[in-house]
Structure 1
Amino acid sequence: MTNVLIVGAASAIAEATARLFAEEGCRLFLVGRRAERLAVLCDDLKSRGAEQTASHELDMNDFEGHEAMLAAAENSIGPIDIAYIAHGTLPDQKACQDDVDLTLQEFRTNALSTIALLTRLANDFERRRTGTIAVITSVAGDRGRESNYVYGAAKAAVDSYLEGMRQRLHKSGVRVVTIKPGFVDTPMTAAFDKGLLWAKPDAVAQRIHRAITKGGDVIYVPAFWRLIMLVIRSIPRRIFKAIKL
């Protein structure tokens, strides 16, 4: 039986992925900020086939609460086989430019809270010499752009951290999966106009679940974003700084 920790479980992508784990009969431990929402999710996932569900209310910016959360997860479902980290926010770039405190808060949420949790998880998984750690970052981390560089910088920091952690944990048989979604139609992106490049959470979740369970180090979802970001990264800086992206 597979024990799965899902952080940011109430996000649309995480919820869709959790359903796939539930259908496999996994034990699920859900972490998020809203206890009532987590309770509803637990009931739904149990009805879909999860062997066991439990939840823990936590704002991931409460770094001191991470240790207690991980202890609660192990006490509830046993040693974690898969840690899936999916929490985050999409900041207003213009508002961040005008407010130092907001910029730092968004960086704390989208980078430091994940890095703090990963530090604890890596040590535990390395000691046990088994398991998979999967983290949602973003294609925005591939190159800083005027429209969202606060968010992009935070995701780039997590990307780099995961790359080093992957190299370290490979020796212990622990897998580290970096998940880079492009545009996904979720409540977090409700204000955006949607087009051909936008994907639905269920389709994204299918690809994520496959990477976590079947293999993969760095995945772009949908896969065509790998090519798009290759092109964007290849634009010479003298040209890049003059265009709007």
Structure 2
Amino acid sequence: MSDTWVILGASSAVARAFAREAASHGAALVLAGRDMEDLEHQAADLAIRYGVPAMPLRFEARDLATHAGFVAECRRRAGDGLLNVFLAFGVMPDQAAADADPEVAAGMVEANFTGAASVLGALAPVLEAQRGGTVVALGSVAGDRGRKRNFLYGATKAALLVYLQGYAARLSGAGVRVLCIKAGPVDTGMTWALPKLPFMASPRGFAAAAWQRAGKGGGSAYLPGIWWPVMTIIRLLPTPIFNKLNI
């Protein structure tokens, strides 16, 4: 029985690319998200293109009450294979919009952190019971330090990183690898409206690098790797200087 990757937020550009990467290595797929028509088309394409089982499954990150049932269905569809997780959902509204509307701010926290913590919490007993598997979650370089342009988004990603650190500690005895990818900007719909960004990655290149890094174990990793020295400098800047930067 082949391993199965559950792709959470499977309609995103990065998730699509990662699903293709996993399928090219023979993995079965559960494509989870809200747009069932898109997921069905994507599943059919992957099954034909790579000859692997690919199954669409409805998932709503903010509907916490459905997460236990969703996880049970993922486990059923994986059969005897090892269950792995790629968490790629999230939203990034403009900071000004979040400042002006508490509903926008709350929605971002619910999607980026609360929903992620809820579904990962529901998955934990399954991962412990199978004594293995890999969890890859998309964090962000924005979580390294609160910047005036996107500090609420950054706060949700910082919270996710801390959660994943504790999650990894919980699952370490079961042989589960937990990896948080601190992603720099990727050329997707989430970044199209933003000013030109440095070191922009393509979804395909990013997914290939994420797959390769996941095979090396858990922890955290900057992708692309250039963000490690960049964010090291940003973290070390004295606060008076940092606060003057329009970043």
Q: Give TM class, smaller chain.
A: over 0.9
Aligned position for 2:38: 37
Q: Find out whether 1:144 has 2:146 as its counterpart.
A: yes
Task: Please tell me the residue identity of whatever aligns with 2:155.
Answer: A
Give TM-score, length-normalised by structure 2.
Answer: 0.94
Task: Please tell me the residue identity of whatever aligns with 1:123.
Answer: P
Deviations 1:52-110 (A, max 9, x none): 11111222101111112112222222255211110011111101111122211111111
Runs of 4+ in 1 over 4 A off after TM superposition: none
Asked whether the 8 Å contact 1:7–1:84 carries over to 2, the reply is yes
Query: Cα gap change, 1:92/1:195 in structure 2, threshold over 3 Å: closer, same or farther?
Result: closer
Query: Cα gap change, 1:168/1:125 in structure 2, threshold over 3 Å: closer, same or farther?
Result: same
Aligned position for 1:172: 174
Asked whether the 8 Å contact 1:28–1:50 carries over to 2, the reply is no
2:89 & 2:10 partners in 1: Cα distance? 7
**Is the deviation greater in 192-201 or in 104-113?**
192-201
Please, which runs of 5 or more residues in structure 2 have no aligned partner? none
For the residue of structure 2 that corresponds to 1:29, the secondary structure is: strand
Q: Find out whether 1:184 has 2:179 as its counterpart.
A: no
Aligned position for 2:99: 97
Asked whether the 8 Å contact 2:18–2:208 carries over to 1, the reply is yes
Task: Please tell me the residue identity of whatever aligns with 1:59.
Answer: E
Task: Please tell me the residue identity of whatever aligns with 1:155.
Answer: K
Aligned position for 1:201: 203
Q: Find out whether 1:26 has 2:43 as its counterpart.
A: no
2:51 & 2:115 partners in 1: Cα distance? 28
Task: Please tell me the residue identity of whatever aligns with 1:69.
Answer: F
Please, which runs of 5 or more residues in structure 1 have no aligned partner? none
Aligned position for 2:15: 14
Give TM-score, length-normalised by structure 1.
Answer: 0.95
RMSD, aligned CA: 1.4
How far 1:117 moved relative to its partner? 0.9
How far 1:45 moved relative to its partner? 0.9
2:35 & 2:82 partners in 1: Cα distance? 22
1:178 & 1:121 partners in 2: Cα distance? 16
Asked whether the 8 Å contact 2:75–2:83 carries over to 1, the reply is no
2:8 & 2:82 partners in 1: Cα distance? 12
How far 1:27 moved relative to its partner? 0.9
How far 1:234 moved relative to its partner? 0.4
For the residue of structure 2 that corresponds to 1:133, the secondary structure is: strand
Task: Please tell me the residue identity of whatever aligns with 1:89.
Answer: V
For the residue of structure 1 that corresponds to 2:193, the secondary structure is: coil
1:214 & 1:81 partners in 2: Cα distance? 17
One of 105, 108, 122 as aligned partner of 1:106: 108
2:20 & 2:64 partners in 1: Cα distance? 28
How far 1:208 moved relative to its partner? 0.6
Task: Please tell me the residue identity of whatever aligns with 2:188.
Answer: T
2:155 & 2:48 partners in 1: Cα distance? 39
2:228 & 2:165 partners in 1: Cα distance? 17
For the residue of structure 1 that corresponds to 2:97, the secondary structure is: helix
For the residue of structure 2 that corresponds to 1:59, the secondary structure is: coil
Task: Please tell me the residue identity of whatever aligns with 2:32.
Answer: V
Task: Please tell me the residue identity of whatever aligns with 2:231.
Answer: M
How far 1:193 moved relative to its partner? 3.5
How far 1:213 moved relative to its partner? 2.6
How far 1:196 moved relative to its partner? 4.4
One of 219, 242, 245 as aligned partner of 1:243: 245
Aligned position for 2:3: 2
